[in-house]
Amino acid sequence: MKNIKNKIMYSFDKKASSYDKYSLVQDEVARRLCDRLSSIAIKPMNILDIGCGTGYLSDMLFKLYPHANITCLDISLNMLEESHKKNSSFNYVLSDAENMPFKNNKFDLIVSSFTLHWCFEIEKIFFDIHRFLEDKGLFLFTTVGPSTLDELNTAYYEAVDSDVHINFFSDMHTYGDLLLKFGFNDPVMDTEKIVIEYKTFKDVLDSLRKTGANTVMENISSYTSKDSYRKLSEAYPINQSNKRYPVTYEMIYGTAWKNPENTDENTGVIPIKKI
């Protein structure tokens, strides 16, 4: 697992300078996460952003809560440096999300966007997040579900081979069950599909490669030969109405409290216990 972690860290280090230019869906999902936060009556003073990347979500949080103390954590030093260029007032911590170095009851809001699907020990992460939160603290996250990158996965299977080229993504219920297991109160979960369309097949691959998202968490090469590239481009589905190449992201949103006084916030989503 250490080798895979190093592989992920190296990939994001390498792509840090190009990340913002190509991270269209990551930026949009961060905005939607903040929209959800803006409808919840909280005034956090100590915020942790797990897997902060280049700081796009942290910047949005700073605009929502300008008086809050924001801590940015990421496994990639280069990503943290890109974030520091945007806002040097944040606290920066270079760390794996599975080994976070914080004391109990330190934060009243913990967020994570587009990070958990890169992690192996989700149980440990949720256990740690629960103890890092103060009573009445809020945990809000996004990650990707099983239908993510369906088009590319299908094209590989139909035109190239049946090897693993797309990472396995857990479903919404897995995360909801784990939140309950580690003591979060009445977690609410929902999903939505976001489809981004690109002019060319190269643009599709660039959207993954230039953000480091093409890293496969299996011990296989990510190299694509010219012949495989041609087969993939021919097999990849095209939106016939506009001749563009769609990329599907199944987004999972989770919200959970630690020992809240009142969990009846109008979040517009369904408690996991009722699913």
SS (H, E, C) 156-176: HHHHCCCCCCCCCCCCHHHHH
Helix, strand, coil percentages in the chain from 3-state DSSP, rounded to 5: 40, 25, 35
User: Which residue segment(s) compose the domain that 179 sits in?
Assistant: 2-274
pLDDT tens digits, 150-204: 999 999 989 988 777 788 899 999 999 999 999 999 899 999 999 999 999 999 9
Which of 51, 21, 41 lies closest to 111 in space, CA to CA?
A: 51
Domain count, the chain: 1
CATH number for position 161: 3.40.50.150
Label residue 266 by pLDDT band (50, 70, 90).
very low
Pair 215, 222: CB distance under 8 Å: yes
Other beta carbons within 10 Å of 29: 23
pTM (2 d.p.)? 0.89
Pair 247, 195: CB distance under 8 Å: yes
